[in-house]
Amino acid sequence: MNFEEWEPIYQEIVEYFGFDRKEDEHAADILEDLLQRDDLDLLEETCRGHDVCVCGNAPCLAKEISLVKGTVFAADAASLVLLSHGIRPDAIFTDLDGATDEYIEMNREGTVLVVHAHGDNMPLLRHWVPRFPGPLVGTTQSRPLPHVHNFGGFTDGDRAVFAAHSLGASRIRILGFDLDDSRVDHMKRAKLLWAKKLLSLLDP
């Protein structure tokens, strides 16, 4: 999805949640300055023409581990569930709110960290991005920059699906997603509703 297609959806999200678009753009500028490299080619190489399994962080992921195969994209802390079962994901999509030192080790071993910038995570960007020694890709939900990309999507999980779609996956399998989880708080519930709406725009 190019930005011209995404921008009206993004503007709707901004208005729905009361986000500050200028803060999103400022965060993207910070990430652009922090990035010492752009490993988009490597991320695309893991994806194009391959079956991609996108793993969300819902509790059901642990029960679905046997179904994880092919290229593995993890939504933030889903990477830790996978790692606990001996699976190091090919990429982690994260806004860093679930980041741990284990992310550094996975990144050192070759996992691509797809780091997302938004208006609420600027301190996390400054703390974590310089510490990652391996391949990095930056993303934003606002207008893309030369080394900060926008594939579409809003939460870590649906952003991973949008990226797989944009980067030419031959097939996308979604595991560990519970978009109808009624046990979460109001904000999380709203984000899940948006994720469900956005994923309906694709045909993974």
Domain ranges of the chain: 3-199
Tokens of 159: 């952003």
Contact predicate 77/98, CB 8 Å: yes
Contact predicate 39/137, CB 8 Å: yes
182 band by pLDDT with thresholds 50, 70 and 90:
confident
Answer yes or no: is pLDDT of 133 > 80. Answer: yes
Q: What is the mean pLDDT of residues 8-25?
A: 95
Look up the pTM and report it.
0.95
Answer yes or no: is pLDDT of 184 > 90. Answer: no
Instruction: Work out the mean pLDDT of the chain and round it to a whole number.
Output: 95
Q: What is the mean pLDDT of residues 136-147?
A: 97
Could you read off the pLDDT of 57-84 as tens digits, one per residue?
988 999 999 999 999 999 999 999 999 9
**74 vs 69: CA distance, rounded Å:** 12
